[in-house]
Amino acid sequence: MAPPSAGSLIDEIVREGARRMLAAALEAEGNQYRAELAAETDDADRRLVVRNGHHRPRIVVTAAGPVEVRAPRVNDRRVDEATGERKRFPSKILPPWCRRSPEISEVLPLLYLYGLSSGDFVPALEQFLGSTAGLLPATVSRLMRQWGDDHAAFQARDLSDRDFVYVWADGVHPKVRLGQTHSCVLVLLGVRLDGTKELIALAEGLRESTESWADLLRDCRRRGMRDPELVVGDGAVGLWKALVEVLTAARHQRCWVHKARNVTNCLSKSAQPGATKAMQEIYNAEDRAHAEKSIDAFARTYGTKWPNSAAKINDDREELLAFYDFPAEHWIHLRTTNPIELTFSTVKLRTKVTRGAGSPAAALAMVFKLIESAQARWRAITCAHLVPLVRAGAKFESGVLVERGTVAA
């Protein structure tokens, strides 16, 4: 027989160490439980909580591989007065249903979200973990049901304890199987007073229509959401009509990335590079006055041959330059809806692998969990200490604070 390789020997040593540590922790937990209840006795002065051997061995999948465990058995003869049933020793380290460590349980949904099909868990992880225990596709099915419940709870949560100063709004088409043919995912993402970004709402909408956006915004208002100082969005007409109707105090900022695409589509290919550079001169200008001059220069250069391209910028002049009235440190965040677009790149990667996500509820749940996972990596807005000043009504000229305003509530 060939001697074991160094790698397999190391794995065996690690598993044996994990088994011994787990066994010692379970013994200590059982001993502490009995010690705390040592004073509980019956009429004959005999203890009601005593040791009673071990449970049958079972395999638990851990990051170190499969480990065989024999949990200590505790005989608890006390009776619950409310239910009349015997009490049980509740192990927090190894509950009776546990067949995987919490780390493995957390890894499975992440692997599914980032592209591994549920049917691929066994062939992909069996060699790595040394066992197929707890890797059945049914595990992911149960997790997806839980994700649906998590999304429903998220959409019903109270928003009165949050104050979103900036909000990005966009309708995204991740090519998942939603409820209707022309459905999309409506997303609201905001910046709180401390400068951190947070997903506000995520729901299915029809063609980014006014009714769909208005329903979502009204729902947020009912749950306590205040009017933000600025809403950033693309050129979808339905969004802006709904904002005027529901969030009446919020200012509007059009996304320059979407606007640049729409403008260049009106130009010949030879003119597109120059027009792109000219638009960069507008939204990268040092202040609003220079941006206004750059818009006039764009109209003179391209307005004669391509009047539609110049009109697309000139007609939305106020909404395209609104970000100049806010801190200069925030301009890079407020010019586009990139926070939403970048987040949905992972969603589109996942849906490309699965070619759909089953039911509409499952699709929305999967999108929600992907964004929730990405949210942990979102960085706060630059110079977050200026966000409360914006909410307090501070005045900024050329991006520089000139009047602090009142203290924010």
Instruction: Look at residue 409 in the predicted model and tell me its pLDDT.
Output: 42
In the Cβ-directed half-sphere of 373, how many Cα atoms lie within 13 Å? 19
Number of continuous H segments (helices) and E segments (strands) in the chain: 15, 11
- The 10s digit of each residue's pLDDT in 19-68 is 788 788 888 888 888 888 888 888 888 888 898 888 888 877 765 567 78
Question: In this model, does residue 219 exceed pLDDT 70?
Answer: yes
Instruction: Look at residue 352 in the predicted model and tell me its pLDDT.
Output: 53
- The 10s digit of each residue's pLDDT in 253-291 is 999 999 999 999 999 999 999 999 999 999 999 999 999
SS3 93: coil
| Confidence band, pLDDT 50/70/90 cuts, at residue 212 | very high
Instruction: Look at residue 299 in the predicted model and tell me its pLDDT.
Output: 94
Question: In this model, does residue 408 exceed pLDDT 50?
Answer: no
| Confidence band, pLDDT 50/70/90 cuts, at residue 296 | very high
Question: In this model, does residue 124 exceed pLDDT 90?
Answer: no
Question: In this model, does residue 387 exceed pLDDT 70?
Answer: yes
| Confidence band, pLDDT 50/70/90 cuts, at residue 105 | low
Alpha-carbon dihedral sign for residues 11, 13, 16, 21: negative
Burial 70-89 (b: 16+ CB within 10 A, else e): ebbebebeeeeeeeeeeeeb
Instruction: Look at residue 116 in the predicted model and tell me its pLDDT.
Output: 60
Burial 114-127 (b: 16+ CB within 10 A, else e): eebebeebeeebee
Cα 244 to chain centroid distance, Å, stands at 28
Q: What is the mean pLDDT of residues 109-129?
A: 59
The percent of residues above 90 in pLDDT, for the chain, comes to 43
Residue 235 token pair: 């050129």
- Average pLDDT score over the chain: 82
Instruction: Look at residue 348 in the predicted model and tell me its pLDDT.
Output: 61
pTM of the model: 0.70
How far is the C-alpha of 323 from the C-alpha of 230, rounded, in Å? 8
Instruction: Look at residue 87 in the predicted model and tell me its pLDDT.
Output: 86
How far is the C-alpha of 217 from the C-alpha of 187, rounded, in Å? 11
How far is the C-alpha of 28 from the C-alpha of 30, rounded, in Å? 5
Question: In this model, does residue 241 exceed pLDDT 70?
Answer: yes
Alpha-carbon dihedral sign for residues 208, 210, 212, 213: positive
Q: Which residue has the higher pLDDT, 285 or 341?
A: 285
163 neighbors 192 (Cβ within 8 angstroms): yes
For residue 381, the 8-state DSSP code is P
Question: In this model, does residue 318 exceed pLDDT 70?
Answer: yes
Q: Which residue has the higher pLDDT, 191 or 83?
A: 191
Instruction: Look at residue 11 in the predicted model and tell me its pLDDT.
Output: 64
- The 10s digit of each residue's pLDDT in 160-177 is 999 999 999 998 776 655
What count of other Cβ atoms lies within 10 Å of the Cβ of residue 342?
12
Of 7-21, 22-36, 377-391, give the lowest mean pLDDT range. 7-21
How far is the C-alpha of 173 from the C-alpha of 206, rounded, in Å? 11
Domain-by-domain residue ranges, the chain? Answer: 6-99, 102-244+339-378
Residue 304, class by beta-carbon neighbours within 10 Å (0-12 exposed, 13-18 middle, 19+ buried)? exposed
| Confidence band, pLDDT 50/70/90 cuts, at residue 400 | very high
Q: What is the mean pLDDT of residues 181-196?
A: 88
Q: Which residue has the higher pLDDT, 25 or 394?
A: 394
Question: In this model, does residue 324 exceed pLDDT 70?
Answer: yes
